[in-house]
């Protein structure tokens, strides 16, 4: 047997095992969920900061628009 065939069979066997429902639940609850939660905890302040920047920009755009309209109608 060549090395490629052995690796191919091994990968196919791993794929079949990982697709079983009990293994999917185990991976989802014990591996993926904690990793996503950790990433969210680290990124949370950045999300809030970016949200505040977007809100500030939108408010500034409306203020500038209002001031431009006010100047146009005063003349």
Give one DSSP letter per residue of 7-49, joined into a string: HHHHHHHHHHHHTSHHHHHHHIIIIIHHHHHHHHHHHHHHHHH
Alpha carbon 53 to its chain centroid, in Å, reads: 19
**What would the pLDDT profile of 20-65 be if each residue is shown by its tens digit?**
999 999 999 999 999 999 999 999 999 999 999 999 999 999 999 9
- Number of domains into which the chain is organized: 1
Q: Which domain holds residue 29?
A: 3-74
More confident residue, 1 or 17: 17
pTM over cut 0.75: no
Q: What element of type H or E holds 75?
A: none
| pLDDT value of position 1 | 67
Backbone angles phi, psi at 6, to 5 degrees: -65, -45
Cα 63 from Cα 44, distance rounded (Å): 29
Residue 75 has pLDDT above 80, yes or no: no
């Amino acid at each position: 047997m060549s090395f490629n065939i052995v690796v191919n069979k091994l990968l196919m066997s791993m794929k079949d095992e990982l697709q079983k429902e009990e293994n999917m639940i185990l991976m989802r609850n014990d591996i993926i969920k904690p990793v996503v939660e950790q990433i969210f905890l680290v990124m949370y302040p950045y999300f809030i900061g970016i949200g505040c920047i977007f809100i500030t920009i939108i408010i500034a755009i409306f203020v500038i628009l209002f001031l431009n309209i006010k100047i146009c109608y005063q003349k």
